[in-house]
Amino acid sequence: MTIASGKLLNRGIGALLLCSCLNAAASPPSLEQLLQQRTRTLPGQIEVSTASRLQQSAAQAAQVTYLVTAEDINRLQLRTLGEVLSLLPGLYVSSDSTYGYLTARGIGRPGDYNSRLLFMVDGTRVNDNIYDAGLVGSNFHLDVRLIERVEFMPGTGSALYGNNAYLGVVNIISKKVYQLQNLQLQGSVSNQHQHDMLLSYGLRHPEGHEGFLALSQNRRGEIPLPEVGLADVPRQAVDLNQDTNTKLAGSYSYRRFAITFAGVQRDRQQPALVGERLVAHQIQNDVSFVNARYAQRLSQQLEWQGHFSTNRMHFKTVTPTLLGLAANQPQLNELIFDVEGKWTNLDQRFSYQASPGLSWLAGLDLQRDHHQAYRFNINELLTISSVASSNLRAGVFIQQDWQLWPAHRLLLGLRYDHSAQDVRELSPKLGWIWQASPREQWRFNFGRAFRAPNEYELETNRFYQIALPAAEQTDTIELGWQRQWQTDWHSHVTVYRNQLKNLITSAYGDTTLVPFFNDLPVHAQGVELLLQRDWTDLSELKLSVSLQRAEYSTQQRLTNSAEQLLKLQYYRPLWQEQWSVGYRLFAASARFSRNARLAGFARHDLSLRWQPFANLQWQLTIKNLTDHRQLDAPLPSTQQLSQSGRSIDLSLSWSLP
């Protein structure tokens, strides 16, 4: 049963219960109906798991957690993780048509691969071990329709998670078997030559054995070239611009033991001009993970959780080249860049409830990088450059949650990270929560976080024989105020200030390999406002405003990020319960690249949903209604790239009754 169908049934329940008022003999709501009943849950009561690495009510966490739910994803027919993340306060996503680039709270450096955010799938770290990349484009491990929710904890997270939890932690919670039971089929077509399909099957045994398997494919052809100012692009060039992603995911669990796997194989093809010839530049990218989790209560007060995962990423580009071409050779040579990473994580956590007002969480995280390798070669025969290394990373952490007085709690945390590649980082955290009233809460927290230079940055500088960059560090102070108003409005305001040093930045350049350096200190500050309201007729409104400014110590503004973001989502049922409409506004102020000002813009998305039966849904979505193609410059080349234009998507979702 989808959430959407549940919404429709809510009205049925309402009618049923209304009848109950008039007819004492009416049958009671079933458990299914009760679970589909729409609730107006206070945000503080919603269960989250990212802020403290354990399941808890959001009000218990020292830092705010923003959510995007499966229903949000479904309503707007979002297709990539980047589109999902762009709903969240403070995040801005741009694309070069192959990869997505995130900026968070005003910080984003050209050419980074989102390594300042920690990405997890159900608690499994998925940033790779070469670029520390977080994939937010179409090649993310999971099809977004398999996401139950995305939790985003902005701010420092290194006191619990270590490396990469620098500007925030993104935890993607996948759907469980209870949401994927029986056969489900979803598909969509778009006027932008895009086709999507997802097929899943899930099964649960009353003894607790359960599992699902899901296969999806996304294909896009004739992708417009994003580069601005290209003249006379031949039709064949657009035809060569294609992207295909095939994904497989599944899980098996028995009570507190679970195994999950997910992987994607990407085949991306882009046109390239070599001499006079138009040729295809190939990108192959495979990423996958398998994880196993188990939890055991060791005593009434002590619980152990163990987590093991093994991951692989493979990235290969094949570029036709004139390099080394012999006289009269008919075929172009192939310049091949081959990157492979394999790593294994082992996490152990112990939670201890010492007394009603005092609990401890302690843990050990290990990461063994078995394989970190690059190879440049021609035709797989002539090696130009080859590098291989390995690493071992370890982190120990402890966190104390102490109820000082009935309305005041204090959280203290400390983590030490150590790696064979010379990382020695101490990350403290202090949080204070004041529950001023049942409807009002204040939060203060201070945290320190780091991002160690990744393998790509280290090896690139070694290649150029220049100094290796030092680890980035940030100190962040945050004050949050949350209130539930009598009128069913909920508001949340966060004010923050970051001090960042050693920001690792790539030199500007057009070459494949650009060296890295530690940039000047940066001060960033901002305000995030989130307003939400649910109406009794099932309408919903969510509005966020982010004002953020990041400057070097020289007062010069940081490039690549909007200083004002406005995001609005509105959803309401129409004249009949089967019909509903959704609207989304995304507006950003001007951004700056090194040599240009990129104008602010507003994008509008509109969707219309028809659900004639509980197990069948049709949806028409128009994204970027006004076809405004804003420009961004997310790459070190500072080249301005046009973002996606209007698309019209028609989607179908069906499940076996």
Residues that bind other proteins (CB under 8 A): 3, 6, 13-14, 16-24, 26-32, 34-41, 45-47, 54-57, 60, 67, 69, 71, 149, 176, 178, 181, 204, 206-208, 210, 253, 255-256, 297, 300-301, 303, 353, 355-357, 403, 488, 534, 536
Q: Choose between 51 and 167: whose C-beta lies nearer to other proteins.
A: 51
Amino acid at 610: W
Q: Least distance (Å) from other proteins to the CB of residue 409?
A: 11
Beta strands in 420-573 (DSSP E): 423-437, 440-451, 472-484, 489-501, 504-506, 516-518, 522-534, 540-552, 564-573
Q: Least distance (Å) from other proteins to the CB of residue 516?
A: 40
As a whole number of angstroms, the distance between CA 385 and CA 376 comes to: 5
As a whole number of angstroms, the distance between CA 56 and CA 234 comes to: 56
Q: Choose between 24 and 327: whose C-beta lies nearer to other proteins.
A: 24
Q: Least distance (Å) from other proteins to the CB of residue 496?
A: 24
Cβ 65 vs Cβ 51: under 8 Å = yes
Q: Choose between 301 and 385: whose C-beta lies nearer to other proteins.
A: 301
CA–CA distance from 581 to each of 489, 539, 619 (Å)? 21, 10, 10
Q: Choose between 54 and 335: whose C-beta lies nearer to other proteins.
A: 54
Q: Choose between 57 and 512: whose C-beta lies nearer to other proteins.
A: 57
Question: Under DSSP, is residue 600 helix (H, G, I), strand (E, B) or coil?
Answer: coil
Q: Choose between 45 and 386: whose C-beta lies nearer to other proteins.
A: 45
Q: Choose between 19 and 420: whose C-beta lies nearer to other proteins.
A: 19
Q: Least distance (Å) from other proteins to the CB of residue 580?
A: 14
The DSSP bridge pattern shows strands 117-121 and 440-451 to be: unpaired
Q: Choose between 266 and 307: whose C-beta lies nearer to other proteins.
A: 307
The 10 Å Cβ neighbour count of residue 56 is 17
Tokens 């798991």 belong to residue: 49
As a whole number of angstroms, the distance between CA 270 and CA 282 comes to: 6
Give CA 457 to chain center in angstroms. Answer: 22
Can you list the alpha helix ranges (DSSP code H) found in 417-494? 455-464
Cβ 469 vs Cβ 517: under 8 Å = yes
DSSP character at residue 467:
P
As a whole number of angstroms, the distance between CA 588 and CA 42 comes to: 29
Lookup: tokens for 283? 């990108």
Q: Least distance (Å) from other proteins to the CB of residue 302?
A: 11
As a whole number of angstroms, the distance between CA 28 and CA 15 comes to: 12
Cβ 463 vs Cβ 386: under 8 Å = no
Burial bucket for residue 413 (CB in 10 Å: 0-12, 13-18, 19+): buried
Q: Choose between 204 and 375: whose C-beta lies nearer to other proteins.
A: 204
Q: Least distance (Å) from other proteins to the CB of residue 40?
A: 4
Q: Least distance (Å) from other proteins to the CB of residue 301?
A: 6
Q: Least distance (Å) from other proteins to the CB of residue 46?
A: 5
Q: Least distance (Å) from other proteins to the CB of residue 77?
A: 19
Q: Least distance (Å) from other proteins to the CB of residue 306?
A: 15
As a whole number of angstroms, the distance between CA 532 and CA 546 comes to: 15
Question: Under DSSP, is residue 105 helix (H, G, I), strand (E, B) or coil?
Answer: coil
Q: Choose between 28 and 612: whose C-beta lies nearer to other proteins.
A: 28
Beta bridge partners of 388: 373
Q: Choose between 418 and 439: whose C-beta lies nearer to other proteins.
A: 439
Q: Least distance (Å) from other proteins to the CB of residue 488?
A: 7
Give CA 97 to chain center in angstroms. Answer: 17
Q: Least distance (Å) from other proteins to the CB of residue 176?
A: 6
Q: Choose between 21 and 231: whose C-beta lies nearer to other proteins.
A: 21
As a whole number of angstroms, the distance between CA 45 and CA 536 comes to: 19
CA–CA distance from 85 to each of 67, 296, 430, 621 (Å)? 10, 33, 27, 18
